[in-house]
Amino acid sequence: MQARVSKRTFLSLALATALACAFGSANAADIKERTAKFPIVNPIDHPQGLGAQKFVEVVEKKSGGKIKIKIHASGALGGEQQVAAAMQGGTVEISMMSPAQLVGTIKEFVVLDFPFVFANEKQADAVLDGPFGKKLMDLMPAKGWVGLGFMEQGYRSISNSKRPINKLEDIKGLKLRTILNPLYVDMLNALGANAVPMPFPEVYTALETKTIDGQENPETSVDASKLYEVQKYFSADRHIYNPQMLMVSKKFWDSLSADEKKIFEEALVEARDVQRKAARAMTEKSRKVLIEHGMQLNEIAPAEIARMKEVVKPVTEKYAAQLDPALVKAFYAELDKVKNLK
């Protein structure tokens, strides 16, 4: 009898030990102590900054405080092009920027810059979060980056210190800063402006010294960078919808364990949903701030927007012709699928 009890006790202990080991190994995530840099060109209270902060918060929480990420805001580590190159080299680990900044390396991203293609944010979300967005991000590892997902910058419109824009002809002759992207330059020139490509950290001074008359960005960027101090007019033509891509250096990504990668991917989804909601609320808040600081805001009649869209159509066709026709067809097919989203 005693032997039977001992055997039963032994088997119970052995089973308990095995279960404990199995449970422990399943929950012992492979997470190392890490530090990473996360530069952005906008101020920390810009929607870009809010998205970065939420991402960092979730990563640190899910990693039990082991992965610490420092945000460098307001272009402290340079403009987007400089940061993108540093990520390829592995000296910067994480960043967030418009895919438009990467078209010099990944030309396919230019489809997201086709003027006037997204009628609203819901259409943009559906395309970016779906198979087409993944198709674009799948092109990144070969160039030294890994795309985790898309957040929001917003609709780009024109601000300037000369006059309000109510019709196409009002754009003529304005010296307008834009990003270092040939499509943007061609688009503004087609509209009659003189496009001046320039890194964003240099824009305020260029506006202040009248080197340029204006620039094109969402209301939140004008607000966060206090461009209302050196700009008088904001005209909502909404020529291009800008997503923000959260991306990681491939060298850094390859050093992460599967558990760490999962943390980053889950943090992207959580931060993306919070950021988009905040960005859209901040757009309306920023419009009020611009008015409070003396800027004149105006909408542009749909008929004039249609004229602008027609004028830049050859620019869209020019850049579409440089891409694989199958990619362009797939993009327009996705747009067609979401056209009824409001």
pLDDT, one tens digit per residue, over 224-264 is 999 999 999 999 999 999 999 999 999 999 999 999 999 99
Dist CA 287 CA 220 (whole Å): 8
Per-residue pLDDT averaged across 309-333, rounded?
98
Per-residue pLDDT averaged across 172-193, rounded?
97
Return the pLDDT at 11: 52
Angle, alpha carbons 238-242-243 (nearest 5°): 145
Angle, alpha carbons 240-243-247 (nearest 5°): 145
Q: How close are the terminal C-alpha atoms of the chain, in Å? A: 76
pLDDT, one tens digit per residue, over 276-298 is 999 999 999 999 999 999 999 99
Q: Which residue has the higher pLDDT, 273 or 5?
A: 273
Sequence-separated (6 or more) residues with CB below 8 Å from residue 281? none
What's this model's pTM, rounded to 2 decimal places?
A: 0.87
Q: Is 232 exposed, middle or buried (0-12, 13-18, 19+ CB in 10 A)?
A: middle
Confidence of residue 35 (pLDDT cuts 50, 70, 90): very high
pLDDT, one tens digit per residue, over 117-153 is 999 999 999 999 999 999 999 999 999 999 999 999 9
Alpha helices in 28-157 (DSSP H): 47-62, 80-89, 121-128, 131-137
Return the pLDDT at 24: 38
Per-residue pLDDT averaged across 25-37, rounded?
81
pLDDT, one tens digit per residue, over 57-116 is 999 999 999 999 999 999 999 999 999 999 999 999 999 999 999 999 999 999 999 999
Confidence of residue 6 (pLDDT cuts 50, 70, 90): low
The pLDDT of residue 20 is above 80: no
Name which of 102, 34, 99, 46 is nearest 73 in CA terms: 46
Q: All domains of the chain, ordered by start, with CATH? A: 30-338 (3.40.190.170)
Confidence of residue 29 (pLDDT cuts 50, 70, 90): confident
Confidence of residue 19 (pLDDT cuts 50, 70, 90): very low
Confidence of residue 14 (pLDDT cuts 50, 70, 90): low
Structure tokens at 77: 């580590």
Confidence of residue 13 (pLDDT cuts 50, 70, 90): low
Per-residue pLDDT averaged across 18-47, rounded?
76
